[in-house]
């Protein structure tokens, strides 16, 4: 069957390029066979175009679609979630390549290319990948241009050049829109299953997470009344996980505790459990400005107390807001860094809570933990032994392999690669198995000191998980097993992000991190670092600056002013384009008639009959008619046509007549033979 509509050749070329590029961009999180089927479909489409192969039959197409869908389900185990959705979209897109019957099929493919290429930004937000996405949009636009160009056999390069022109012209306007267009927060919760992009969530399941999404967005800012404490002191506690079901750590919640209300409000009488907190010395006083999180958990240094009436202290010694934080929230905190929590003793029900391990999980760890407990009964020694194990054998990476059913077993005695959540989870499980009460704490660690102002910026990539163990007589002690593996993760803050990234690159021998000893390479690395930092600050986290920026520009943010600014700045951005396009048009060269007349003159000049300067067409014709009487009739006719085209009304029809007559006007030297 011949296709009903033949796609223009250059359009097909750019469409195939777009498909290959879309697949290439998503290669990192796609099953490889999707990429393979994309290449096969592209090849098939080429053969279709050359009329070598035929359209796949309906049965084949449907079974292919079915096979792909089930393949994806087998690969991901579900269809919800970002990655399976994108993979499904990509598969459908690739299969669509096999049925381009109408213009609209090609159009759908082009629009889908735009969507799929841009969706890559959900997976990677680095500057390099953004530039790649920007470049990848060009062939798609070229395909769109080629489709509407209509010129026969036009070369692909022409379409690409037009696409490039339009894109370059669009960039100033894009920048204006990016800067001015207000962002509203999430409209509804989006499934974020495989990557914890927002740092801290309500539960933690290290085995499922194969990649820690890092976002350069700000989590909160802290302004201290005094100097900012040491980096290694800055453990911002957010949630405490005491429950573990073998896979997932989560909060015990109010029902886990039975000695009074779970939350203690500042304007209400103290709960009895407040007695177990020993606060020593002068408190550290600071204000936290938290970005919207959509959950009530607040972040503070241990052990905190807030005077705000909407903030409560919970039974596990952290701060909780009355309502989920849906917009920026500022709260004052006093923290006693020197403290003891539940130092005296833990009642039986508390011990049971903090020692619980699910049956049937991680048998090897349980066995080894008990062995160790017999060898080293002292909890602190036991703990140090485990930390030493981490230090010697484990690797900190942001891309650990996925774990199966026995997450702790596989991690501790198998893969030995992971990030903070893996360490916290395995450490707490091991300590509990060895009979030491322990729990997981998640929150943020460190922060970036603002170079000139006295405040601290805590980013989403500072999200961290660590452990607390209970030692009789000393209470809950903070232990950070990640620090045992990658101490620099804790000691430096800003470099953390990049330290992580270098770890992330540790598989590659060309990693700049590995060449720290080469000076110029190191300075290059730091330059790249600061570029990347600027990128995350100004682009990825722009909405944090936007309101300040617009406020400074407009004085007051309201829809009218924003619309006005958008119009004004948009007009300024469009002005060069406008000038370019309109002036380009006015740059007239000689018109068609002049060009034809010059052609006429040059033909005569070639046979030795040049036109005198300033000689009119008629005078010229009369003069040379005498020299070449054989041409006289033709010259007379041409002159008449020229004059009527020139002086009557510059009419296309007249010019065309002149052109036609000129076409057959071939004077040669023979015409000169008869001389008077």
Partner 1 sequence: MIKRWRQALNKRYQRWITRRLPAVKKIRLDNRKLFIFPTRGGFVFFALLVLLWLIATNFENNLIFAFTFLLSSLFIIAVFHTFLNLSGLQIEGGRATPGFAGQTAEFEYLLSQSGKRQRYSIEISYPEVEPTVVSLMGSEIKAIYLSIPVKRRGWFKAQRITVKSVYPLGLLKVWTYLQFDTEALVYPQAIDANLPPQAASGRGDKPPPQNYRANNSGSEDFVGLEKYRLGESLRHIAWKQFAREQGLQTKHYADAVDDELWLDWEALPGMDTEARLSRLCAWVLDLSETTRPYGLRLPGLELAPGTGRAHRDSVLRALALFEQPAAAGGQA
Active site residues: 420, 464, 480
The least distance separating partner 1 from the CB of residue 538, rounded to whole angstroms, comes to: 9
Number of residues that bind partner 1 (CB under 8 A): 67
> Which window, 45-53, 144-152, 392-400, 462-470, contacts partner 1 (CB under 8 A)?
144-152
* Interaction pattern, residues 380-419, with partner 1; x per rule: CB under 8 A: ----------------------------------------
- Nearest distance in Å: CB 332, partner 1: 27
Please tell me the total number of residues recorded for the chain in this structure: 676
DSSP 645: I
Single out the segment in contact with partner 1 by CB under 8 A; choices: 187-195, 219-227, 329-337, 498-506: 187-195
* Residues 480-519: x where in contact with partner 1 by CB under 8 A, - otherwise, as a string: ----------------------------------------
Per-position b or e across 395-414, b if 16+ CB within 10 A of its CB = ebbbebeebeebbbbbbbee
Distance CA 471, CA 381 (A): 12
Phi, psi of 285 (to 5 degrees): -115, 130
217, 237, 334, 525: residue in contact with partner 1 (rule CB under 8 A): 217
Question: CA 634 to CA 638: how far, in whole Å?
Answer: 6
Among the residue ranges 43-51, 138-146, 504-512, 663-671, the one whose residues contact partner 1 (CB under 8 A): 138-146
Contact between 647 and partner 1 per CB under 8 A: no
Min. distance of Cβ 64 from partner 1 in angstroms? 26
Question: Does residue 588 touch partner 1 according to CB under 8 A?
Answer: yes
Judge whether 437 and 474 are in contact, CB under 8 Å: no
User: Segment contacting partner 1 (CB under 8 A): 219-227, 249-257, 400-408, 535-543?
Assistant: 535-543
**Which of helix, strand or coil describes residue 475?**
strand
Identified binder of partner 1 from the candidate list 328, 450, 516, 595, rule CB under 8 A? 595
Backbone angles phi, psi at 244, to 5 degrees: -140, 130
591 is an interface residue for partner 1 by CB under 8 A:
yes
- The answer to the question of residue 86 lying near partner 1 (CB under 8 A) is no
Exactly one of 224, 413, 542, 665 binds partner 1 (CB under 8 A); which one? 542
Contact 607, 672 (CB under 8 A): yes
Restricting to residues 339-378, name those near partner 1 by CB under 8 A: none
The DSSP code sequence of 9-73 is HHHHHHHHHHHHHHHHHHGGGS-HHHHHHHHHHHHHHHHHHTTSS-PPPHHHHHHHHHHHHHHHH
Q: How many CB atoms neighbour CB 342 within 10 A?
A: 20
Which of 4, 27, 60, 115 touches partner 1 (CB under 8 A)?
Answer: 115
At 173, list the tokens: 């306007």
Q: Which of the stretches 33-41, 136-144, 382-390, 410-418 binds partner 1 when contact is defined by CB under 8 A?
A: 136-144
Q: Which range, of 34-42, 134-142, 199-207, 400-408, touches partner 1 by CB under 8 A?
A: 134-142
Question: Residue 129: helix, strand or coil by DSSP?
Answer: helix
559 forms part of the interface with partner 1 (CB under 8 A): no
Of 153 and 392, nearer to partner 1 (C-beta) is 153
> Phi and psi (nearest 5°) for 297?
-70, 135
Other C-beta atoms within 10 Å of 321: how many?
Answer: 19
User: Which DSSP helix (H) or strand (E) runs through 654?
Assistant: helix 652-663
**390 within 8 A of 423, measured Cβ to Cβ:** yes
Cβ of residue 588: shortest distance to partner 1, in angstroms?
Answer: 5
Please tell me whether residue 577 binds partner 1 under the rule CB under 8 A: yes
- Segment contacting partner 1 by CB under 8 A, of 180-188, 347-355, 551-559, 631-639: 180-188
Binding map of partner 1 across residues 653-672, x = CB under 8 A, - = no contact: x-xx--x-------------
- Tell me the sheet residues that pair with 457: 221, 448
Nearest distance, CB of residue 105 and partner 1, angstroms: 12
DSSP for 167-194, written as a single string: HHHHHHHHHHHHHHSPP---SS-----S
> Between residues 46 and 107, which has the closer beta carbon with respect to partner 1?
107
Using the minimum distance from each CB to partner 1, give the nearer residue, 79 or 111.
111
Contact between 562 and partner 1 by CB under 8 A: the answer reads: no
Cα–Cα dist 316/253, whole Å: 10
* Residue in 101, 148, 280, 666 binding partner 1, rule: CB under 8 A: 148
Report the distance separating Cα 228 and Cα 287, nearest Å.
Answer: 12
Query: Rounded to whole angstroms, how far apart are CA atoms 565 and 651?
Result: 47
Token output for 76: 């991901």
**Nearest-approach distance from CB 215 to partner 1, in angstroms:** 9
CA distance 586 to 322: 67
Helical ranges in 316-362 per DSSP H: 348-355
Q: Identify the DSSP state of 289.
A: E
Contacting residues toward partner 1, per CB under 8 A: 107, 111, 114-115, 118-119, 121-122, 125, 130, 133-134, 137, 141, 144-145, 147-151, 162, 166-167, 169-171, 173-174, 177-178, 181, 183-188, 190, 217, 539-543, 574, 577-578, 581-582, 584-592, 595, 649, 651-653, 655-656, 659
């Amino acid at each position: 069957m011949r296709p009903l509509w033949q796609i223009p050749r250059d359009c097909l070329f750019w469409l195939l390029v777009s498909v290959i590029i879309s697949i290439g961009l998503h290669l990192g999180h796609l099953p490889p066979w999707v990429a393979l089927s994309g290449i096969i479909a592209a090849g098939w489409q080429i053969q279709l175009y050359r009329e070598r192969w035929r359209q796949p039959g309906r049965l084949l197409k449907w079974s292919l679609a079915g096979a792909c869908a089930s393949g994806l389900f087998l690969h991901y185990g579900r269809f919800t979630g970002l990655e399976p959705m994108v993979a499904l979209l990509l598969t459908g897109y690739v299969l669509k390549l096999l049925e381009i019957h109408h213009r609209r099929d090609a159009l759908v493919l082009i629009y889908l290319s735009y969507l799929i290429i841009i969706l890559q930004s959900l997976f990677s937000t680095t500057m390099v990948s953004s530039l790649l996405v920007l470049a990848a949009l060009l062939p798609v636009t070229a395909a769109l241009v080629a489709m509407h160009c209509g010129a026969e056999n036009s070369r692909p390069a022409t379409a690409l050049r037009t696409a490039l022109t339009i894109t370059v012209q669009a960039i100033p306007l894009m920048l204006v829109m990016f800067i001015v267009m207000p962002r509203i927060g999430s409209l509804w919760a989006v499934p974020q299953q495989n990557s914890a992009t927002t740092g801290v969530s309500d539960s933690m399941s290290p085995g499922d997470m194969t990649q820690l999404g890092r976002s350069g967005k700000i989590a909160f800012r802290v302004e201290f009344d005094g100097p900012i404490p040491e980096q290694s002191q800055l453990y911002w506690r957010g949630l405490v996980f005491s429950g573990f079901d073998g896979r997932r750590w989560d909060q015990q919640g109010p029902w886990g505790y039975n000695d009074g209300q779970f939350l203690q409000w500042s304007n209400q009488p103290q709960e009895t459990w407040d007695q177990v907190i020993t606060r020593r010395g002068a408190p550290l006083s600071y204000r936290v400005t938290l970005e919207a999180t959509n959950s009530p958990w607040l972040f503070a240094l241990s052990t905190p107390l807030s005077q705000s009436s909407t903030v409560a202290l919970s039974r596990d010694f952290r701060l909780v807001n009355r309502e989920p934080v849906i917009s920026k929230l500022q709260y004052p905190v006093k923290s006693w860094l020197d403290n003891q929590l539940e130092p005296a003793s833990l009642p039986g029900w508390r011990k049971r809570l903090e020692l619980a391990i699910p049956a049937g999980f991680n048998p090897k760890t349980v066995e080894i933990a008990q062995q160790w407990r017999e060898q080293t009964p002292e909890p602190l020694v036991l703990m140090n032994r485990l930390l030493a194990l981490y230090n010697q054998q484990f690797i900190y990476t942001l891309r650990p392999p996925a774990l199966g059913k026995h997450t702790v077993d596989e991690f501790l005695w198998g893969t030995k690669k992971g990030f903070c959540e893996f360490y916290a989870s395995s450490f707490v499980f091991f300590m509990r198995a060895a009979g030491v009460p322990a729990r997981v704490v998640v929150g943020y660690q460190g922060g970036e000191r603002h170079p000139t102002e006295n405040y601290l910026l805590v980013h989403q990539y500072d999200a961290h998980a660590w452990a607390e163990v209970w030692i009789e007589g000393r209470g809950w002690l903070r232990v950070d097993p990640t620090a045992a593996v990658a101490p620099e993760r804790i000691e430096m803050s800003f470099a953390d992000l990049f330290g992580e990234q270098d770890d992330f690159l540790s598989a590659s021998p060309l990693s700049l991190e590995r060449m720290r000893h080469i000076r110029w390479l190191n300075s290059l690395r730091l330059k790249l670092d600061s570029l990347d930092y600027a990128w995350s600050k100004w682009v990825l986290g722009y909405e944090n600056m936007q309101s300040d920026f617009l406020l400074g520009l407009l004085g007051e943010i309201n829809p009218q002013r924003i619309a006005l600014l958008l119009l004004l700045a948009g007009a300024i951005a469009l002005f060069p384009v406008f000038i370019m396009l309109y002036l380009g048009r006015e740059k007239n060269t000689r018109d068609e008639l002049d060009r034809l007349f010059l052609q006429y003159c040059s033909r005569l000049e070639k046979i030795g009959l040049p036109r005198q300067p300033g000689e009119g067409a008629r005078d010229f014709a009369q003069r040379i008619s005498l020299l070449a009487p054989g041409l006289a009739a033709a010259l007379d006719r041409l002159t008449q046509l020229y004059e009527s085209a020139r002086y009557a009304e510059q009419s296309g029809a007249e010019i065309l007549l002149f052109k036609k007559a000129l076409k057959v006007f071939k004077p040669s030297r023979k015409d000169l033979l008869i001389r008077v």
